[in-house]
Chain A
Amino acid sequence: MPIYDQSYRPYRGALTSHTWRWWTITQAGLMQHLSRRLTLIFLFVAIIPAIVQGVIIWFSHQVTSQQNLFTVDPAFFRNFLWMQGPFLMLVCVWPGATLIARDLKTNAIQLYLSRPLTRTDYVLGKFGIVAGVAMLLLPVPALLLFIMEIGLSTDTAFLARYFWIPFAILGYSAVVITGAALLSLALSSITRSGRYAGLLFFALVICSRIAAGVATLLTQSHAWNVLSIGSLMDQVGALFFGGETEYGMHPVPAAFMYALLVSACLLILRRRVKAVEIVT
Chain B
Amino acid sequence: MPAPERQGDFVIQVENLTILYGKGRALDRVTAGFPPGAVGLLGPNGAGKSSLLKTLLGFLKPDQGSARVLGMEVAARPLDVRQRVGYMPEIDCHIPGMNAVALTSYLGELCGMPRIEAIQRAHEALYYAGLGDERYRNVETYSTGMKQRIKLAQALVHGPKILFLDEPTNGLDPKGRMEMLALIRDLARRKGVNVVLSSHLLRDVEETCTSVVMLSHGRVVGAGSIESLKGAAGELFEVRVKGNPESFLRLLESRGCTAAAAEDGLLDIALHDGLGSDLIFAAARDTQVQVRHLVRKQPTLEDVFARAVGERVPAAGRS
**CB of A18 within 8 A of chain B?**
yes
| CB of A33 to closest CB in B, whole Å | 10
| CB of A197 to closest CB in B, whole Å | 14
Enumerate chain B residues within 8 angstroms of A13, measured Cβ to Cβ: 113-114, 117
Residues of chain B in range 141-199 having any CB-CB distance to chain A below 8 Å = 154, 156, 158-159, 186-187, 191-193
**CB of A10 within 8 A of chain B?**
yes
Residues of chain B in range 182-241 having any CB-CB distance to chain A below 8 Å = 186-187, 191-193
- Given A7-B124, A7-B128, A275-B54, the answer on whether A21 and B91 have CB atoms closer than 8 Å is no
Q: Which residue of B lies closest to A103 (CB)?
A: B95
Q: Is the CB of B59 within 8 A of A275?
A: yes
**CB of B87 within 8 A of chain A?**
yes
- Cβ contact of A115, chosen from B59, B60, B82, cutoff 8 A: B82
| CB of B56 to closest CB in A, whole Å | 11
**CB of A207 within 8 A of chain B?**
no
Enumerate chain B residues within 8 angstroms of A8, measured Cβ to Cβ: 124-125, 128, 156, 186-187, 191, 193
Of the candidate stretches B102-110, B253-261, B266-274, the one touching chain A is B102-110
In the assembled complex, the Cα of A6 lies from the Cα of B120 at a distance in Å of 11
In the assembled complex, the Cα of A154 lies from the Cα of B121 at a distance in Å of 57
**CB of B8 within 8 A of chain A?**
no
**CB of B111 within 8 A of chain A?**
yes
* Chain A window 32-56, contacts with chain B (Cβ cutoff 8 Å), 1 for yes, 0 for no: 1000000000000000000000000
Q: Is the CB of A278 within 8 A of B21?
A: yes
Of the candidate stretches A105-113, A228-236, A245-253, the one touching chain B is A105-113
Q: Which residue of B lies closest to A274 (CB)?
A: B59
- Given A106-B94, A110-B93, the answer on whether A116 and B79 have CB atoms closer than 8 Å is yes
Q: Is the CB of A110 within 8 A of B89?
A: yes
- Cβ contact of B107, chosen from A10, A115, A278, A280, cutoff 8 A: A115
Q: Is the CB of B111 within 8 A of A116?
A: yes
| CB of A221 to closest CB in B, whole Å | 47
**CB of A214 within 8 A of chain B?**
no
Report the count of interface residues on B (CB-CB < 8 A): 48
- Cβ contact of A111, chosen from B22, B94, B97, cutoff 8 A: B94
* Chain B window 116-129, contacts with chain A (Cβ cutoff 8 Å), 1 for yes, 0 for no: 01000101110110
Q: Is the CB of A12 within 8 A of B159?
A: yes
- Cβ contact of A21, chosen from B110, B117, B121, cutoff 8 A: B110
**CB of A222 within 8 A of chain B?**
no
Q: Is the CB of B82 within 8 A of A116?
A: yes
Enumerate chain B residues within 8 angstroms of A276, measured Cβ to Cβ: 54, 59-60
Q: Is the CB of A280 within 8 A of B24?
A: yes
| CB of A28 to closest CB in B, whole Å | 6
Enumerate chain A residues within 8 angstroms of B54, measured Cβ to Cβ: 275-276
Enumerate chain B residues within 8 angstroms of A21, measured Cβ to Cβ: 110, 112
Q: Is the CB of B110 within 8 A of A117?
A: yes
Enumerate chain A residues within 8 angstroms of B186, measured Cβ to Cβ: 8
**CB of A161 within 8 A of chain B?**
no
In the assembled complex, the Cα of A276 lies from the Cα of B58 at a distance in Å of 10
Q: Is the CB of A115 within 8 A of B110?
A: yes
In the assembled complex, the Cα of A114 lies from the Cα of B151 at a distance in Å of 12
Q: Which residue of A lies closest to B106 (CB)?
A: A28
Q: Is the CB of B79 within 8 A of A108?
A: no
Enumerate chain A residues within 8 angstroms of B128, measured Cβ to Cβ: 6-8
Enumerate chain B residues within 8 angstroms of A115, measured Cβ to Cβ: 82, 107, 110-111, 158
Q: Is the CB of A102 within 8 A of B96?
A: yes
| CB of B25 to closest CB in A, whole Å | 12
Q: Is the CB of A18 within 8 A of B124?
A: no
| 29 A-B pairs with C-beta separation under 8 A | A6-B132, A8-B128, A8-B186, A10-B159, A11-B158, A13-B114, A14-B114, A16-B112, A17-B112, A18-B79, A18-B112, A28-B106, A32-B98, A102-B96, A103-B95, A106-B93, A106-B95, A107-B89, A107-B93, A110-B89, A110-B91, A111-B154, A113-B59, A114-B85, A114-B89, A116-B79, A116-B80, A278-B21, A279-B21
- Give chain B's interface residues, CB within 8 Å of chain A: 21-24, 54, 57, 59-60, 79-80, 82-83, 85, 87, 89, 91-98, 106-107, 109-114, 117, 121, 123-125, 127-128, 132, 154, 156, 158-159, 186-187, 191-193
